[in-house]
Structure 1
């Protein structure tokens, strides 16, 4: 789709150049020069697309990397007697509140500049509080600030993608944003592995500078929506809506107004009834599949994966595995690494040019993950292979967690991509500002689905891990008790 846009765009530009009357580009009389101008313009467009993709990749990477760093540093941030689950709770809940508050409660036009700068300062303040204070309360408060900033940033940048059009350009933004969020898992874990030797104060202090990359990228690298004009009409596509559902009714009693009546666009906003109307067709189509994927995914990662433990492979029988796994404590980091790598790969499918998943197949990743959850829970509780063949069990778990990560990444990128691509006939739109807000609300509201999935999974994971460990002990497998 993106290649077709470039080709068609360049052809129109070339035709327009020939009709300008400029003797330098006189159409058929100077084909070489016209061709040279065509190539120069195409190169310029590719440079714009490169900067756009890189900007959204950086947004996804930096916005999510602090979340990963906090989870990776959990053991170093709280006393040994404090449950590590409190870190996960403080790292998830404020972001979920931000997703709900800004998508469902706050109304009117989005101030992207204020949001980007505000999120940067909130993240910096939160991470600084974690670095400079040793008290548990101060660190938890800092984590909550950083989490709130990350949650607000997530909806901000996916909503920002809706200001870029035509459809291929908006999809370009989502593809690279998703790839950046996938890379954050690997980059964050690796960065903390390198910084943890410096101590919490220095390591987290250095990490607190990362959010400043976001406004720098926003102001100095990101192309403006006006850079992508329809060459035939010179209309900025970002003024057009993307929603292919019914445009919400405007309730003037709550402050909404038509631009056509001469009122300021700032007074136009979606009412609560408008938002509920927009949500109805999204619940089963987009939100439920995304919620289920995150519920199953994080239940596996937090509740089942910690119990997938086996004897340390002996060098005599398993030469390669023995070089990777040196103790029982190495299994959980290995499963997390496999998960993060496969999530990154699958979240990058759109940016790599792989066709998106059809809308009718969006529930499929959740179904596959549910089957994986049940299988891994059975493997943990009862064991599928005999205990003297730990190599088979390790390989089996490796494959299932790889598929889990692929399904999770595919669901995320394709749900956001599909909703970004929904566009109505512009001629049927009566209020462009209201339709633009509807488009931003729809894609921003999706973040609440995955946030709820993570929160419910964190609550479900704790009793799941305890019960699976009890079942292992009952059949004489005591490895989970030694961790």
Structure 2
């Protein structure tokens, strides 16, 4: 072989050193897009189910007669015999379930950006699957409220760790996976809340409804290890897989020396200030919408219609998740560069829903249905547009860190909403 030919061969990039989204293989691209949609669906499913079942979970299970344990509402619901107030309240706000469903997520997201890049993705995904299975089993078979809340905590760990893991993983794939992931998470909300409401309304007990949901962690296994095409830049062996013979790392069009494949703590700390323009609007949107969902929704009750109080709450959750699903799937059709439009409108919805709960002036439940769908549209739109902008605008060197770290904003907003919902619930129920 001539020297010229040898030089040409040296200049050829090994396909295994190039991220899969840089190949022109349409089958690979389709598999990755489908995989991220399914991963979004599976990751958020347990989280959504626990919020949809929140009104049921809060019931005192010790008071349920054994012969009623398989009735749709008897497994969780508390039979109230201590009078009626204007809001027909549970003794404890569903904000308690929200806190159990989000505080572990917040802790994970606050700590993960600083050291999780040293843990293989396969290990992180395995933990997500095990905790998701545990959450469904614990809540399904528990007859004690404290144990049920522990099951909700496991769902939170699975969802929080999964969101950080998969959103960070998007940095190694083409930008359109942001859209399919977001659509999948929106579908999780709609399908999950609809499935739970539909199964329980059809007469299946909450316990059996939760056991049916065990198919979801199995689907996550298939999606991640069976459908997703592993990117050569994924963290399997940070010192070898990123690099060619010249010790250069390839992530899309960016090159960097392999010894710098991890950002330092100082670099991460300095870069966080650049993420505030994304995190601020997302935090405010999620605070408003989850204060509505877990602090006000359960207090809005239309008597004398075809739906019971528990059923109304479940269907409020379904319609909210429908709005989220539509907007999280829309980024390839409608994009918003000005992210602050979402918190402004969402806080207007919050004020409106507070007046609806407090003054009980709404003449029909269908108006509330429409408001709740709009609330979901705003929440989903804020989420998908935020991460789409990060994926497009942030330097590839910081993309993985930026995507994962920004997930802290929504969990912080949800956590604060749950904390505020508890005293507001107690104050309103005391009236």
TM-score, normalisation: structure 1: 0.67
**1:94 shift after superposition:** 1.1
**1:459 shift after superposition:** 1.6
Pair 1:276-2:269 in alignment: yes
Cα pair distance change 1:75/1:328, threshold 3 Å: closer
Tell me how far apart the structure 2 counterparts of residues 203 and 308 of structure 1 sit (CA, whole Å). Answer: 25
Counterpart residue number, 2:216: 210
Tell me how far apart the structure 2 counterparts of residues 207 and 383 of structure 1 sit (CA, whole Å). Answer: 36
Tell me how far apart the structure 1 counterparts of residues 37 and 126 of structure 2 sit (CA, whole Å). Answer: 18
Counterpart residue number, 1:114: 123
Helix, strand or coil: the match of 1:302? helix
Cα pair distance change 1:440/1:241, threshold 3 Å: farther
Residue 41 of structure 2, aligned match among 40, 61, 64: 61
Cα pair distance change 1:331/1:199, threshold 3 Å: closer
Cα pair distance change 1:290/1:141, threshold 3 Å: same
Counterpart residue number, 1:370: 347
Counterpart residue number, 2:15: none
Cα pair distance change 1:396/1:201, threshold 3 Å: closer
Unaligned runs of 5+ in 2: 1-23, 61-77, 79-90, 234-247
CA deviations on 1:434-461 (whole Å, 9 max, x unpaired) are x64x321111011111001111111222
Higher-Rg member (1/2): 1
Within 5 Å, give how 1:65-80 maps onto structure 2: 65-77=45-57, 79-80=59-60
Residue 369 of structure 2, aligned match among 398, 412, 435: 398
Tell me how far apart the structure 2 counterparts of residues 90 and 177 of structure 1 sit (CA, whole Å). Answer: 24
Counterpart residue number, 1:238: 251
Counterpart residue number, 1:142: 151
Tell me how far apart the structure 2 counterparts of residues 333 and 152 of structure 1 sit (CA, whole Å). Answer: 26
Q: Is the 8 A contact 1:77 1:200 kept in 2?
A: no
Tell me how far apart the structure 2 counterparts of residues 109 and 241 of structure 1 sit (CA, whole Å). Answer: 21
CA deviations on 1:28-82 (whole Å, 9 max, x unpaired) are xxxxxxxxxxxxxxxx844333322211110011111011222233455454267
Helix, strand or coil: the match of 1:309? coil
**1:467 shift after superposition:** 4.1
Residue 399 of structure 2, aligned match among 414, 439, 446: 439
Kindly report the root-mean-square deviation, in angstroms, between the aligned alpha carbons of the 2 structures. Answer: 3.0
Within 5 Å, give how 1:214-233 maps onto structure 2: 214-225=220-231
**1:211 shift after superposition:** 1.2
Helix, strand or coil: the match of 1:440? helix
Q: Is the 8 A contact 2:46 2:135 kept in 1?
A: no
**1:330 shift after superposition:** 4.9
CA deviations on 1:447-482 (whole Å, 9 max, x unpaired) are 111001111111222333444456xx6xxxxxxxxx
CA deviations on 1:358-381 (whole Å, 9 max, x unpaired) are 1xx101110011112112223333
Residue 179 of structure 1, aligned match among 183, 188, 194: 183
Cα pair distance change 1:240/1:122, threshold 3 Å: farther
Counterpart residue number, 1:459: 419
Tell me how far apart the structure 2 counterparts of residues 121 and 107 of structure 1 sit (CA, whole Å). Answer: 18
Cα pair distance change 1:106/1:349, threshold 3 Å: same
Tell me how far apart the structure 2 counterparts of residues 381 and 75 of structure 1 sit (CA, whole Å). Answer: 19
TM-score, normalisation: structure 2: 0.75
Task: Give the paired residue count.
Answer: 362
Unaligned runs of 5+ in 1: 1-43, 228-234, 243-257, 314-324, 425-434, 474-483
